[in-house]
Amino acid sequence: MRITALQHDIVWEDRDATLSHLEPLIAQAAAGAPDLLLLTEMFATGFSMETHRTAEHLDGPIVAWLGAQARAHDTVLAGSLALSADDGEDGALPTNTLVAVAPEGLIARYDKIHPFSYAGEHERFGAGRDPVSIEVAGARVGLSVCYDLRFADLYWDRDPAVDVEVVVANWPAARRHHWRALLDARAIENQCFVVGVNRVGTGGGLEYAGDSRVTDPLGEVLVAAAGQEQQIDVEVDPATVAGIRGRFPFRDDRRPRRPA
Protein backbone atom coordinates (compact mmCIF):
# COMPACT_ATOMS: atom_id res chain seq x y z
CA MET A 1 0.00 0.00 0.00
CA ARG A 2 1.33 3.42 -0.96
CA ILE A 3 0.46 6.46 1.16
CA THR A 4 1.20 10.08 0.28
CA ALA A 5 0.86 12.79 2.93
CA LEU A 6 0.54 16.32 1.60
CA GLN A 7 1.98 18.92 3.98
CA HIS A 8 0.35 22.13 2.84
CA ASP A 9 -0.52 25.70 3.73
CA ILE A 10 -4.11 26.89 4.25
CA VAL A 11 -5.71 30.24 3.40
CA TRP A 12 -7.33 31.18 6.69
CA GLU A 13 -11.12 30.68 6.62
CA ASP A 14 -11.12 30.86 2.81
CA ARG A 15 -12.32 27.51 1.52
CA ASP A 16 -12.37 28.35 -2.17
CA ALA A 17 -8.89 29.89 -2.22
CA THR A 18 -7.45 26.92 -0.34
CA LEU A 19 -9.08 24.33 -2.58
CA SER A 20 -7.77 26.13 -5.66
CA HIS A 21 -4.31 26.16 -4.09
CA LEU A 22 -4.50 22.44 -3.32
CA GLU A 23 -5.59 21.20 -6.73
CA PRO A 24 -2.18 21.36 -8.46
CA LEU A 25 -0.47 19.98 -5.34
CA ILE A 26 -2.84 17.01 -5.35
CA ALA A 27 -2.30 16.46 -9.06
CA GLN A 28 1.45 16.37 -8.52
CA ALA A 29 1.15 14.05 -5.51
CA ALA A 30 -1.24 11.75 -7.37
CA ALA A 31 1.31 11.22 -10.13
CA GLY A 32 2.94 8.64 -7.85
CA ALA A 33 -0.33 6.64 -7.79
CA PRO A 34 -0.89 6.54 -4.02
CA ASP A 35 -3.63 4.31 -2.68
CA LEU A 36 -4.30 6.89 0.06
CA LEU A 37 -3.59 10.61 -0.15
CA LEU A 38 -3.76 12.53 3.13
CA LEU A 39 -4.52 16.21 3.66
CA THR A 40 -4.44 17.97 7.03
CA GLU A 41 -6.90 18.74 9.80
CA MET A 42 -9.52 21.29 8.67
CA PHE A 43 -7.57 21.33 5.44
CA ALA A 44 -9.83 23.84 3.64
CA THR A 45 -10.25 26.53 6.31
CA GLY A 46 -7.64 26.18 9.03
CA PHE A 47 -8.36 25.37 12.67
CA SER A 48 -11.04 28.04 13.05
CA MET A 49 -13.60 28.19 15.85
CA GLU A 50 -15.93 30.31 13.70
CA THR A 51 -18.08 27.35 12.77
CA HIS A 52 -20.94 29.58 11.62
CA ARG A 53 -18.64 30.44 8.71
CA THR A 54 -16.78 27.19 8.16
CA ALA A 55 -19.07 24.24 9.00
CA GLU A 56 -20.67 22.30 6.15
CA HIS A 57 -22.80 19.20 5.70
CA LEU A 58 -21.60 15.97 4.13
CA ASP A 59 -23.26 16.99 0.88
CA GLY A 60 -21.54 20.40 0.94
CA PRO A 61 -18.79 21.81 -1.28
CA ILE A 62 -15.76 20.43 0.60
CA VAL A 63 -16.80 16.77 0.52
CA ALA A 64 -18.03 17.18 -3.07
CA TRP A 65 -14.60 18.57 -3.98
CA LEU A 66 -12.87 15.64 -2.27
CA GLY A 67 -15.02 13.27 -4.30
CA ALA A 68 -14.17 15.03 -7.54
CA GLN A 69 -10.45 14.91 -6.75
CA ALA A 70 -10.65 11.23 -5.75
CA ARG A 71 -12.33 10.37 -9.04
CA ALA A 72 -9.96 12.50 -11.11
CA HIS A 73 -6.88 10.87 -9.59
CA ASP A 74 -8.25 7.40 -8.78
CA THR A 75 -7.22 7.45 -5.14
CA VAL A 76 -8.70 7.60 -1.64
CA LEU A 77 -8.45 11.16 -0.33
CA ALA A 78 -8.75 12.02 3.37
CA GLY A 79 -8.76 15.19 5.46
CA SER A 80 -10.86 16.78 8.18
CA LEU A 81 -13.41 19.57 8.12
CA ALA A 82 -15.92 21.25 10.40
CA LEU A 83 -19.01 19.13 9.80
CA SER A 84 -22.44 20.48 10.66
CA ALA A 85 -24.58 18.41 13.01
CA ASP A 86 -27.08 16.34 11.06
CA ASP A 87 -29.19 14.92 13.86
CA GLY A 88 -31.69 17.76 13.85
CA GLU A 89 -31.15 18.46 17.53
CA ASP A 90 -31.45 22.13 18.41
CA GLY A 91 -28.09 23.54 19.45
CA ALA A 92 -26.15 20.45 18.38
CA LEU A 93 -22.53 21.34 17.77
CA PRO A 94 -20.58 20.57 14.60
CA THR A 95 -17.87 17.95 14.74
CA ASN A 96 -14.25 18.04 13.64
CA THR A 97 -14.58 15.15 11.22
CA LEU A 98 -12.00 13.24 9.23
CA VAL A 99 -13.59 11.94 6.05
CA ALA A 100 -12.16 9.39 3.61
CA VAL A 101 -13.51 9.60 0.08
CA ALA A 102 -12.86 7.06 -2.68
CA PRO A 103 -13.66 7.47 -6.38
CA GLU A 104 -16.98 5.73 -5.73
CA GLY A 105 -17.85 8.07 -2.85
CA LEU A 106 -17.56 8.48 0.92
CA ILE A 107 -16.18 5.38 2.64
CA ALA A 108 -15.74 6.58 6.24
CA ARG A 109 -16.10 9.44 8.66
CA TYR A 110 -14.40 9.74 12.01
CA ASP A 111 -15.58 12.42 14.45
CA LYS A 112 -12.67 13.63 16.57
CA ILE A 113 -13.13 12.11 20.02
CA HIS A 114 -10.94 14.58 21.94
CA PRO A 115 -11.77 18.27 21.32
CA PHE A 116 -8.84 20.54 22.17
CA SER A 117 -10.30 22.25 25.25
CA TYR A 118 -7.09 24.24 25.83
CA ALA A 119 -8.09 26.31 22.79
CA GLY A 120 -11.84 26.14 23.44
CA GLU A 121 -12.61 23.57 20.75
CA HIS A 122 -15.01 21.80 23.13
CA GLU A 123 -17.18 24.94 23.19
CA ARG A 124 -17.61 24.98 19.40
CA PHE A 125 -17.35 21.30 18.47
CA GLY A 126 -19.00 18.17 19.75
CA ALA A 127 -16.94 15.09 20.64
CA GLY A 128 -17.06 11.88 18.66
CA ARG A 129 -17.71 8.56 20.37
CA ASP A 130 -16.19 5.70 18.42
CA PRO A 131 -12.78 4.84 16.96
CA VAL A 132 -12.82 4.20 13.22
CA SER A 133 -10.59 2.20 10.94
CA ILE A 134 -10.87 1.45 7.23
CA GLU A 135 -9.31 -0.93 4.75
CA VAL A 136 -7.37 0.50 1.83
CA ALA A 137 -5.46 -1.66 -0.66
CA GLY A 138 -5.30 -4.58 1.75
CA ALA A 139 -4.11 -2.60 4.78
CA ARG A 140 -6.12 -1.69 7.87
CA VAL A 141 -5.86 2.07 8.52
CA GLY A 142 -6.81 3.79 11.79
CA LEU A 143 -8.10 7.38 11.65
CA SER A 144 -7.31 10.11 14.18
CA VAL A 145 -7.15 13.89 14.38
CA CYS A 146 -4.48 16.08 15.97
CA TYR A 147 -5.13 16.27 19.75
CA ASP A 148 -6.24 12.62 19.74
CA LEU A 149 -2.54 11.83 19.50
CA ARG A 150 -2.07 12.66 23.19
CA PHE A 151 -4.43 9.86 24.28
CA ALA A 152 -2.82 6.45 23.92
CA ASP A 153 -5.97 4.58 24.93
CA LEU A 154 -7.71 5.62 21.70
CA TYR A 155 -5.14 3.60 19.78
CA TRP A 156 -5.09 0.74 22.29
CA ASP A 157 -8.86 0.36 22.07
CA ARG A 158 -8.96 0.31 18.30
CA ASP A 159 -9.06 -2.78 16.09
CA PRO A 160 -5.86 -4.69 17.02
CA ALA A 161 -5.36 -5.56 13.36
CA VAL A 162 -4.55 -1.95 12.39
CA ASP A 163 -1.42 -1.79 10.22
CA VAL A 164 -1.06 1.99 10.02
CA GLU A 165 -2.37 4.89 12.06
CA VAL A 166 -2.87 8.20 10.29
CA VAL A 167 -3.01 11.49 12.19
CA VAL A 168 -4.10 14.67 10.41
CA ALA A 169 -3.27 17.86 12.28
CA ASN A 170 -2.96 21.59 12.73
CA TRP A 171 -0.31 21.22 15.46
CA PRO A 172 1.32 24.53 16.44
CA ALA A 173 5.06 25.02 16.11
CA ALA A 174 5.30 25.97 19.79
CA ARG A 175 4.66 22.31 20.72
CA ARG A 176 6.36 20.65 17.76
CA HIS A 177 8.55 18.48 20.00
CA HIS A 178 5.41 16.91 21.48
CA TRP A 179 4.05 16.18 18.01
CA ARG A 180 7.15 14.34 16.88
CA ALA A 181 7.63 12.44 20.13
CA LEU A 182 4.02 11.31 20.34
CA LEU A 183 3.92 10.10 16.75
CA ASP A 184 6.96 7.93 17.45
CA ALA A 185 5.49 6.70 20.74
CA ARG A 186 2.21 5.61 19.13
CA ALA A 187 4.20 3.63 16.53
CA ILE A 188 6.39 1.89 19.13
CA GLU A 189 3.68 0.96 21.59
CA ASN A 190 1.23 -0.27 18.94
CA GLN A 191 3.87 -1.83 16.67
CA CYS A 192 2.44 -0.28 13.54
CA PHE A 193 3.28 2.39 11.02
CA VAL A 194 2.23 5.91 11.96
CA VAL A 195 1.78 8.65 9.37
CA GLY A 196 1.35 12.19 10.71
CA VAL A 197 0.53 15.08 8.37
CA ASN A 198 0.55 18.62 9.70
CA ARG A 199 0.01 21.98 8.04
CA VAL A 200 2.58 24.71 7.46
CA GLY A 201 2.24 28.51 7.40
CA THR A 202 0.27 30.74 9.75
CA GLY A 203 -3.39 30.97 10.64
CA GLY A 204 -5.46 32.42 13.46
CA GLY A 205 -2.34 33.97 14.98
CA LEU A 206 -0.45 30.68 15.20
CA GLU A 207 2.58 29.34 13.36
CA TYR A 208 2.73 25.80 12.03
CA ALA A 209 6.03 24.06 11.34
CA GLY A 210 4.81 20.99 9.46
CA ASP A 211 7.09 18.21 10.75
CA SER A 212 5.00 15.60 8.94
CA ARG A 213 6.62 12.19 9.30
CA VAL A 214 6.31 8.44 8.94
CA THR A 215 7.48 6.15 11.75
CA ASP A 216 7.74 2.39 11.35
CA PRO A 217 6.61 -0.28 13.87
CA LEU A 218 10.05 -0.31 15.54
CA GLY A 219 10.08 3.47 16.03
CA GLU A 220 12.43 4.33 13.16
CA VAL A 221 11.56 7.53 11.30
CA LEU A 222 11.39 6.58 7.63
CA VAL A 223 10.79 10.05 6.21
CA ALA A 224 10.31 13.50 7.72
CA ALA A 225 9.23 16.78 6.17
CA ALA A 226 10.72 20.20 6.86
CA GLY A 227 8.88 23.50 7.28
CA GLN A 228 7.60 24.11 3.78
CA GLU A 229 4.94 22.64 1.54
CA GLN A 230 5.96 19.18 0.39
CA GLN A 231 4.74 15.63 0.09
CA ILE A 232 6.07 12.55 1.82
CA ASP A 233 5.55 9.04 0.53
CA VAL A 234 5.73 5.62 2.13
CA GLU A 235 5.05 2.00 1.21
CA VAL A 236 3.20 0.17 3.99
CA ASP A 237 3.27 -3.61 3.97
CA PRO A 238 0.94 -5.35 6.45
CA ALA A 239 3.31 -8.34 6.39
CA THR A 240 6.00 -6.14 7.96
CA VAL A 241 3.65 -5.26 10.82
CA ALA A 242 2.62 -8.89 11.33
CA GLY A 243 6.25 -10.02 11.31
CA ILE A 244 7.33 -7.50 13.94
CA ARG A 245 4.36 -8.29 16.17
CA GLY A 246 5.14 -11.99 15.81
CA ARG A 247 8.80 -11.60 16.74
CA PHE A 248 8.17 -9.14 19.56
CA PRO A 249 4.71 -9.93 21.03
CA PHE A 250 4.84 -7.05 23.50
CA ARG A 251 1.20 -6.15 23.06
CA ASP A 252 0.18 -9.51 24.52
CA ASP A 253 1.42 -8.31 27.91
CA ARG A 254 -0.76 -5.19 27.92
CA ARG A 255 -3.02 -5.40 30.95
CA PRO A 256 -6.74 -5.04 30.28
CA ARG A 257 -8.09 -1.61 31.21
CA ARG A 258 -10.27 -1.50 34.28
CA PRO A 259 -13.93 -0.74 33.60
CA ALA A 260 -14.97 2.82 34.38
Residues known to be catalytic = 41, 112, 146
Residues 6+ away with beta carbon under 8 Å from 92 = 85, 126
CA distances to 6, 28, 157 from 145, in Å? 15, 25, 16
Question: Which of these, 81, 6, 1, lies nearest to 37 by C-alpha position?
Answer: 6
Rg (C-alpha) for the chain, rounded Å, is: 17
